[in-house]
C-alpha cells in the first residue's frame, strides 16, 4: 500500500486530535468500530498507515467531513510542530 503520510507525524496528530476532542480510545472505537488497541498502536506509531476505509472512519470521528480527507492528510504532513 502506498503511504500517504509520515507514520510518526500521523501518530502524534491522531493522539493530539483525540485528546483535543476530549475522547478516549474506547470512544473512538464506539464511533468508528475500529478496535481501541489498534488506534492505540496507530497513536504510538506501531502500525503502518491505516486502510483508506479506516482513515475515513478516523477522519470523520475527529470531526473532519469526508470531503476533507485530503486536507486532513495535508494537515498531518505539514504540521510544523512535529519533527
Task: Tell me the per-residue pLDDT of 12-40, one tens digit each, with 9 for 90 and over.
Answer: 888 988 999 899 999 999 999 999 999 99
Q: Given this model, what pLDDT does residue 9 score? A: 80
CB atoms within 10 A of CB 81: 8
Higher confidence at residue 7 or residue 19?
Answer: 19
Task: Tell me the per-residue pLDDT of 34-80, one tens digit each, with 9 for 90 and over.
Answer: 999 999 999 998 987 788 888 889 888 988 776 766 776 777 767 65
Overall CATH class of domain 7-78? mainly alpha
Q: Given this model, what pLDDT does residue 64 score? A: 78
Whether the CB-CB separation of 25 and 40 falls below 8 Å is answered with: yes
The Cα–Cα gap between 29 and 37 comes to 9
Question: Apex CA 67: angle with CA 35 and CA 1, to 5°?
Answer: 55
CB atoms within 10 A of CB 32: 20
Amino acid at each position: 500500500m502506498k503511504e500517504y503520510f509520515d507514520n510518526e507525524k500521523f501518530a502524534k496528530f491522531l493522539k493530539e486530535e483525540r485528546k483535543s476532542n476530549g475522547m478516549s480510545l474506547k470512544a473512538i472505537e464506539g464511533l468508528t468500530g475500529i478496535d481501541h488497541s489498534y488506534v492505540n498502536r496507530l497513536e504510538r506509531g506501531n502500525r503502518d498507515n491505516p486502510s483508506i476505509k479506516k482513515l475515513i472512519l478516523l477522519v470523520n470521528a475527529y470531526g473532519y467531513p469526508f470531503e476533507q480527507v485530503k486536507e486532513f492528510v495535508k494537515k498531518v504532513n505539514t504540521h510544523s510542530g512535529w519533527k
